[in-house]
Amino acid sequence: MQDLRDAGEAEAELEAKLKRMGLEGEKEKAEKLAGFADLLGKRRKWASLASAGLASDPACGILESLAVAMYPPESSVARAVDIGSGGGLLGITVAIVRERWHMTLVEASRRKSAFLAEVAGTLSLSNVEVFPGRAEGLRDDEGFDLAMTRAAGAMGVTAPLALRLLKSGGLYVALKGAGAAREVEEAAAVIEAAGGRTREVVTGAAARGERAVLLVVVEKL
C-alpha cells in the first residue's frame, strides 16, 4: 500500500470480491486482508519476501490466493496446512477467509516464520499456528484435510510432501500459473507412488487484469 487512498481502494476491491464469493462478514474479512497487505508491504524487505508482484501490489497476490479458499466446501475442512508458507500470501489469506479452519503455516526461514507469527498476532488470527521448520519435520500421522502450496516448487517435489500429511480423502491444492499441465503430467508417476491421484486442474481468472491462475487438485487415496 503506497498511500491511504491506495489502501482504501484495495480494501474496497477485496470487500467486493468477498461479497461476490458469497462469504459472510465480508467487511471485517476485507479489513483484515487489507491489514495483511499493509504488513506485507512494510515488512517485505526485513523478512526477505520475494513473491512475484509483491513489491508493487500485495493485494493482487491476496486476490489470487482467494481461489484456493473457495475450492473445497468449508464444511469438508477442519485442519489445513500451507507448505512453504513464505510471507503467508496463501495461508494467511485462506485463514482470514475461512476462520473455522485451523491453519498450520510451515516455514523454515526464521525471519519469515517470525513475520507470520507477527501477522497472526496483529490480526488476532486465533486459528493460525506457525511451524518454524520444514514439512519433513511434521509427523506422518498429522491427518490434515487440506494441504496447499503457492510457488513452493514443482509438483513432483511438493505433492509427496503434501500427501504424506493428508488423511485418506484429503486434498492437496497447488496454486499455479502457466505450465501447470505439463508439470502435472511429468509428476504423474510420483503422485501415484505417493498414494495420490490428480483429481482436476481448475482454470480461472483472478485479481487485476484477470490474470489466469490454475488450481491443481490432488486427492490422497
pLDDT of 209: 46
Q: pLDDT exceeding 70 applies to what percent of the chain?
A: 89
Q: With both helix axes pointing from N to C terminus, report the angle between 58-69 and 26-43 in degrees, rounded to the nearest 10.
A: 130
4-220 to CATH, choices 3.40.190.10, 3.10.180.10, 3.40.50.150, 1.10.10.10: 3.40.50.150
How high is the pLDDT of residue 192?
Answer: 98
Judged against a pLDDT cut of 50, whether residue 176 lies above it is answered with yes
- Among 25-29, 137-141, 198-202, the range scoring the smallest mean pLDDT is 137-141
Q: pLDDT tens-digit profile of 61-88?
A: 888 899 899 899 889 999 999 999 999 9
- When pLDDT is averaged across residues 22-38 and rounded to a whole number, the result is 91
17: confidence class by pLDDT, cuts 50, 70, 90: confident
Task: Name the residue with cell 509428476.
Answer: 187
Q: Flag whether pLDDT at 5 surpasses 70.
A: no
Does 144 score more than 60 pLDDT?
A: yes
pTM, entire model: 0.90
- Compare 27 and 7 and report the one with higher pLDDT: 27
Predicted pLDDT of residue 142? 81
